[in-house]
Structures are given as C-alpha cells and as structure tokens.
Amino acid sequence: MSASLQARSLVYLPNMAITAKNILVLLGHPDTDTFSGNVADHYQAGAEDAGHIVERVNIGDLNFDPILHKGYKEIQALEPDLLTLQDKFRWADHVVIIYPNWWVTMPAILKGLFDRFWLPGFAFNFNKETKRIDQHLKDKTGRVIVISGTHTAFQTWWNYGDFTNEIQHGILGFAGIKTKVKTLGPCEKVDGFCRESWLKDIEKLGQKAC
C-alpha cells in the first residue's frame, strides 16, 4: 500500500473546515486518454482541491487475470495488484468508480475485476447461522459515474432497461456501500462547451466528496 494511504484529518480551507475523506477513484476504462479518463481527473482534482486524500487507480495499470476460472469452487490466488486494491477499498471512506457505457453495461475488464476481487471474506460473507449476507463494507459511501457515447441515460433506459442497477445495488450495495449514480451522455453528440460544463459539475462532486 502506498504511503499516501493516511488516516483521516481535519483540513481548514479559507471559509470552512471539512473532515478530509479518504477517497478511492477507480477508472474502469482501460485507456486513460479518453473522456472517461478526463472525468476521473476532474473528480480527483476537485477532491484534492478541497483537501481530501485521493488514491487513484486506473484499471489499465492493474496486472490480473479477469477470468474467475472456477467460480467459487476453487480458490484462485489473488495477484498482488488485487490484494493492494482490496486494501485501498478497506482504507477508503468513499469509493468512486468511473467507466464508459459499453453495450449497456460496464467494460468486460471491470466486470472481470469484480469477479476476481469482490470475494467472500473481503466484501461479504454468507452467514450460515442467520442465512443472510454479512456486508463488510457498510461504513463506506460510493459514487458511480457512467459515460455514454450515443444515448442519453433516458434513451438507454427506455430502449434496454436499467443499466446501472447491477453495479449500484448488485455489486457495491451487496457489500453495504451506499452508492449514488451519475450518468453523462451522449458525449459523442454534444459540443465541447457541454462536455466542459459536465466536467465542472464533476469537479464540484469531487470537492463535496459525494
């Protein structure tokens, strides 16, 4: 784990005192040189400006096999990058996951990441006595930002149904993370002015750590 994974501290800005949060920003696009990467940069810049402590992870930099070959039948040893990522999730008060809408869902590599590291023992457990799920990440909040290229969120929902439920509730919520979703798009159809105004909004979200 990097030295910047520090304890929470009180930060004084000119007009306010905020409790600095530990924020993990995970870019789920394999390429950083993209609008999705730009969104992640602006969230991070806003959060750091406001005094929060940010750990940035780009999925394209992680070294891991995205296929869970035997499901939960056999234990598949975690690569060092996945162990480190689990530590960063434990450390974070707030986790932010940013990804492009690819075929009405997340990129396969991000789904593969969750298959591999979002495991019993880390994120949750099936409690044999209560027959319920014990959620291990209940103390955290989450923010998901999904960027679509050709459709608005409404058009996607209207044509194909819900496309953020799986990450918001099925994955993060399953482990107890209370998550809000923001959708942007269609980024391939709008002008630079519109994209800039979205990026300003994202920066404000980062400042507020929400």
Ligand X SMILES: Cc1cc2nc3c(=O)[nH]c(=O)nc-3n(C[C@H](O)[C@H](O)[C@H](O)COP(=O)(O)O)c2cc1C
Q: Which residues bind ligand X (CB under 6 A)?
A: 29, 34-36, 100-104, 147-151, 185-187
Residue 22 or 168 having the CB closest to ligand X? 168
Residue 69 or 189 having the CB closest to ligand X? 189
- Residues ≥6 apart with Cβ < 8 Å to 129: none
Residue 29 or 94 having the CB closest to ligand X? 29
The distance of closest approach from Cβ of residue 98 to ligand X in the complex, given in angstroms and rounded to an integer, is 9
Place of tokens 């910047």: 4
The distance of closest approach from Cβ of residue 187 to ligand X in the complex, given in angstroms and rounded to an integer, is 5
The distance of closest approach from Cβ of residue 102 to ligand X in the complex, given in angstroms and rounded to an integer, is 4
Residue 6 or 150 having the CB closest to ligand X? 150
The distance of closest approach from Cβ of residue 39 to ligand X in the complex, given in angstroms and rounded to an integer, is 8
The distance of closest approach from Cβ of residue 108 to ligand X in the complex, given in angstroms and rounded to an integer, is 9
Instruction: Look at residues 72, 92, 73, 52 and name the one whose alpha carbon lies nearest to residue 172.
Output: 92
The distance of closest approach from Cβ of residue 175 to ligand X in the complex, given in angstroms and rounded to an integer, is 26
Contact of 104 with 163, CB cutoff 8 Å = yes
Residue 149 or 170 having the CB closest to ligand X? 149
Chain-centroid distance of CA 79 in Å reads: 20
Contact of 167 with 97, CB cutoff 8 Å = yes
CA distance 158 to 193: 27
Contacts by residues 159-165 (CB-CB < 8 Å, ≥ 24 positions apart): 160/104, 163/101, 163/104, 163/105
Q: Sign (positive/negative) of CA torsion 110, 81, 96, 193?
A: negative
SS3 42: helix
Residue 50 or 147 having the CB closest to ligand X? 147
